[in-house]
Structure 1
Amino acid sequence: MRYVIIGAGAVGGVVGGRLAQAGHEVVLVARGAHHDALREHGLRLRVPEGESTYRLPVVDGPGALGELRPDDVLVLAVKTQDTDAALRAWGPAPVRGGGTAAAQLPLVCAQNGVESQRLALRRFRRVYGVCVWLPATHVEPGVVSAAGTPLTGILHLGRHPHGTDDTARLVAADLETARFEAPVVPDVARWQYAKLLGNLGNALEAVAGPVDSDAARALYARVRAEGEAVLDAAGVAYVSEAEQREARGDKVRLVPLDGVPRGGGSSWQSLSRGTGTIEADYLNGEIVLLGRLHGVPTPLNELLQHLANTFALERRAPGSMPVAELVRRAEEAAAEAGWDH
């Protein structure tokens, strides 16, 4: 199989680089300065065992690639706010021998949140979800890093909306040659919703910095409790924290990497790069949506969604709001909603 990595940033670049390192055929899809750097200098992958460069085919869209192959696997690794544009571009792409990508090829959604695979299923017949546990950083154009060892990451995957099949098992087998653990599960959504609860802190980190003070941890606990209440009201199943800890164990330990500055998660990185967009609508915003549908107040997640979007739109520096100010705003939002915490 050939892997076409649509969105070769932090997660996509690391997955593509590790697959290439293991001898698998990989095509990278990127835009702008990152695309240019990948084409000119190759993909530079920084990991605990050192830095390697991979000269891989790089395109900016399906037109530059020509006909897709029947053995291609499309790995969607763009941020969720860019999903619809990617699906519109790649769905109609012709496949050698007849048909389109949407009709003929598997699409693997390696993204945060749960919305992308729902969007994908409107266009693609064969959609796979992935719970991405992969600490990765887009360091600069052409350079990505992953600090995990002995495994680079853990990627639970399965069919969307449920089930498994031979394609999922083949993809998992390839990933496991590339320093990933890739359990194939029939209920991948349970893992993704559990990861969503953890990702509710992404906006908090992006707005006010690392969640490493008592005040920040207490606020995150309230944000998460709000999310759990919403999922419970909606009847959405999710893996417990204990089950997640048991699955991850000590398999992905983080180590400092030379030339990789200490940064934050995906939302922090979006603000750092000044992209003008952020994925809060599909993380905190997912909880807000479900809360509105099921009559559960979500003032804290609504606040974080609003602040993260404002920071992105105004291109503010990540972590530039004092935690005390964020806590004050959270108290005001909760009081206004009549929310008893």
Structure 2
Amino acid sequence: MKKICIFGAGSVGGHMAARLAQAGLDVSVVVRGAHLAAIRKNGLRMTAPGEDFTVQVHASDNPADLGPQDLVISTLKAQSLGPAAEGMAALLKPDTPVVFAVNGIPWWYFHGMPDDGSGQPAATRLPRLDPQGLVWRHIGAQRALGCVIRSPNELSAPGVVRSTGAANTFTIGEPDNSASPRLAAIVETLQRGLPGARASQEIRRDIWAKLVLNVPSSLLCALTVSTAPELFAREDTREMWRQLGNETHAVAAAHGIDAGFDLDAQISSGGKNRHPPSMLQDLLASRPMELDAQMRAVQDLGRMAGVPTPTLDVAVTLLAHRERSEFAASLREKA
């Protein structure tokens, strides 16, 4: 695989693009606005502890400018996939795979899936995640691979990505859990610049393992405008964290996935992490939050399997109101 396009190269996608370009791969990025202008003028710069380097990448806000690619990696937020799908199709050759590095439940979730015990056939779609069917139509589930990313980054300025953590993992898997030749080729290619890339034959388990941590973290940090250590310091918020994690774990189990959830282990590790979750960052920046993919899709899957999610239901309602609140928006503008 020679030509790789990162579609939506913000903080995480920018990290991937910079590392892969530094390793000598032919990298393109689809970005827009001030970020695009800065990359075109100065290159894509990445800073990390002990590192500061700049790479040159092909950059455009029009995918058609970049031509067909051997691999496309989408780091768009879930709610942006549908509107971008037709443009993304311009990057695809007949056999180009697309790795969807997205938080939460992916739009292709039931595709290629054996019976999960919930009675949902593999053809089941989740309308909330692709309401007009644009991703199915323009990209197609047969191209899709899932990707779970654990890599804390931020855009410190247009064209500049700052990596804020040493642990950067990129877990990639086929929807049918197979060890396919294309999966092996993708991981081998990415490892040239991203040594944390690995193949998984249980990508849904990897998705849920992150979700049981992200659901309580994202919801509670955004609702309270706090970091994890602050929430873990109080018994009442620790208990709410536990309830949200347990409800998410129960939904996963009803769909045949043992996601694992150990609050004490999380407190030992995540309780020291002061990096604000992306949902809190989005709220503070008045950007749309990924409530559908990270939260409401879990509620939907719970209802499909008859699993109640009372704590999650209340928390999502409150956070959705906070996102819509004009008063809260006015406070953010003054901050």
In structure 1, the gaps of 5 or more residues are: 96-100, 256-261, 321-341
Cα distance in 2 for residues equivalent to 1:115 and 1:207: 24
Given the alignment, which residue of 215, 223, 248 partners 1:207? 223
- Written as runs of structure 1 = structure 2, the 5 A alignment for 1:96-175 is 101=92, 103-118=94-109, 120=135, 123-124=139-140, 125-149=142-166, 152-175=167-190
Please tell me whether the aligned partners of residues 161 and 189 of structure 1 are also in contact (alpha carbons under 8 angstroms).
no
Please tell me whether the aligned partners of residues 47 and 145 of structure 1 are also in contact (alpha carbons under 8 angstroms).
yes
Flag as ranges the 4+ runs of structure 1 deviating above 6 A. none
C-alpha displacement of 1:278: 0.5
1:308 aligns with 2:319: yes
What fraction of aligned residue pairs are identical, expressed as a percent?
A: 27
C-alpha displacement of 1:6: 0.5
> 1:279 is matched with which residue?
290
Cα distance in 1 for residues equivalent to 2:37 and 2:194: 27
> 1:224 is matched with which residue?
245
In structure 2, the gaps of 5 or more residues are: 110-129
1:87 aligns with 2:77: no
C-alpha displacement of 1:121: 5.2
C-alpha displacement of 1:185: 1.8
Please tell me whether the aligned partners of residues 203 and 280 of structure 1 are also in contact (alpha carbons under 8 angstroms).
no
- Written as runs of structure 1 = structure 2, the 5 A alignment for 1:243-254 is none
C-alpha displacement of 1:83: 1.2
CA 1:180–1:311: 2 relative to 1, 3 Å: farther
| Length-normalised TM-score, structure 1 | 0.77
Which amino acid letter does the alignment assign opposite residue 143 of structure 1? Answer: V
Cα distance in 1 for residues equivalent to 2:173 and 2:136: 14
Cα distance in 1 for residues equivalent to 2:55 and 2:284: 25
Please tell me whether the aligned partners of residues 211 and 217 of structure 1 are also in contact (alpha carbons under 8 angstroms).
no
User: How many residues end up aligned between the 2 structures?
Assistant: 292
CA 1:37–1:236: 2 relative to 1, 3 Å: farther
Q: 1:38-93 deviations in whole A, cap 9, x for unaligned?
A: 2222222111222222221111132332x314xx20101011111111223212x1
Secondary structure in structure 1 of the residue aligned to 2:19: helix
- Written as runs of structure 1 = structure 2, the 5 A alignment for 1:326-341 is none
CA 1:216–1:53: 2 relative to 1, 3 Å: farther
Which amino acid letter does the alignment assign opposite residue 286 of structure 2? Answer: G
Cα distance in 1 for residues equivalent to 2:320 and 2:165: 29
Cα distance in 2 for residues equivalent to 1:189 and 1:102: 27
Cα distance in 2 for residues equivalent to 1:15 and 1:40: 20
CA 1:90–1:205: 2 relative to 1, 3 Å: same
| Length-normalised TM-score, structure 2 | 0.78
CA 1:4–1:231: 2 relative to 1, 3 Å: same
CA RMSD of aligned residues (A): 2.8
Q: 1:253-273 deviations in whole A, cap 9, x for unaligned?
A: x99xxxxxx751211221232
Please tell me whether the aligned partners of residues 189 and 238 of structure 1 are also in contact (alpha carbons under 8 angstroms).
no
CA 1:51–1:84: 2 relative to 1, 3 Å: same
CA 1:175–1:84: 2 relative to 1, 3 Å: same
Secondary structure in structure 2 of the residue aligned to 1:63: helix
> 2:11 is matched with which residue?
10
Cα distance in 2 for residues equivalent to 1:185 and 1:28: 26
CA 1:197–1:113: 2 relative to 1, 3 Å: same
Please tell me whether the aligned partners of residues 281 and 305 of structure 1 are also in contact (alpha carbons under 8 angstroms).
no
CA 1:134–1:26: 2 relative to 1, 3 Å: same
